Amino acid sequence: MAKASKAPFLFIVSSIAVALMLTGCFDVAGGGGGGGGPGRVTISGMVTSVDGDTGDVFGISVEAIDPINGKGLGSSTDTSVFGAYQLKVPAKGLQRLIELIFTTPLPFSQSFSEFFLITQDSQVFLDVRLESPSQVIIDDVDGGGYQVDQRRIRIGDGKRFIFSGPEFGISTPQQAELTINGSSNDCITAKKNSTVTMNVQNFTATNCAVGIKADKRAIISIDASESFEISSRNSGVRSSNQTFTNLSSGEEFVINSSEDFGIRAGGQSSVVVDLLVPPVDCQIFGASGDINQESASAIISVPPGCLVP
């Protein structure tokens, strides 16, 4: 079946991806690979309509390709009578740029495609509608949309974990609801000059020992256009040893620690809470105190008012 040509845009995205590979944004990490088994990410969801027709969603071919070399990634699948699909894609490092292609059956075959990021140790739930000439539009009308369930993140030695569209020249990550379940471990740990960058719609870290831990010159930046939430047993955010952590939200910002401080900063580290469109509903709570700041560290709220020492 023929695919719609996207050569100019594909060349641009490919160039960006190659540049990122050369600068270390695609890192090889050990360990298992999320919901699809070792080294594989499961992507599942629904095609809800084709050009507005909700009854024309059966037998649509779904495949993932590598936009750099155009090769298929794993096996393709066809949608069920209800438009459901599921495929498994090799993770290949901390994050990978893929192109999802949806092709309607003959006799009036048409292809629709969009670029997405997949991350190691994650499971993706993606509902879409297809609209001519070749658009794949995330469909969150019935609460499905774009959801990423991410296992805990642990990186060091200068590696980068990136779930952010601007770095890859795409827009889809900003529409994602990303959830990290720590399973009683630290949800995000970055140390030794490593970097965590996320640019999403909603960010949730739950069932964490520590929500976000930055150590040894790490940089963490999480930008949620709507809601940001951490639920932890120990510190919600813990920074030390010359690190920088920037956390932002457009509508709601919540950190809740059941046994320790909401934010704890020490060792010449900085934590910035950046509330994008005030007034944002901001709540920082810790059983031992909302914040704990050593003299050489900094905890800053932009605009002021969220943090109450």
Q: Is 145 domain-assigned?
A: no
Would you state the pLDDT for residue 92?
86
Would you state the pLDDT for residue 110?
96
Global pTM exceeds 0.75: yes
Look up the CATH number of the domain holding residue 106. 2.60.40
Would you state the pLDDT for residue 1?
39
Q: Is 251 domain-assigned?
A: yes
Would you state the pLDDT for residue 219?
98
Q: Is 24 domain-assigned?
A: yes
Identify whether 8 is preceded by a cis peptide bond (ω within 30 of 0).
Answer: no
- Domain count within the chain: 2
- Picking from 159, 128, 166, 160, the residue whose alpha carbon sits closest to that of residue 144 is 128
What confidence tens digit (pLDDT) does each residue in 197-210 have?
999 999 999 999 99
Listed in sequence order, the residues at least 6 apart from 248 whose beta carbon sits closer than 8 Å to its beta carbon are: 222, 223, 224, 228, 273, 274, 275, 276
Q: Which of the residues in the chain have pLDDT under 70?
A: 1-38, 142-143, 277-279, 305, 308-309
Domain span holding position 309: 152-309
116 & 164 share domain: no
SS3 call for 166: helix
Would you state the pLDDT for residue 76?
92
Chosen domain end from 103, 134, 165? 134
106 & 171 share domain: no
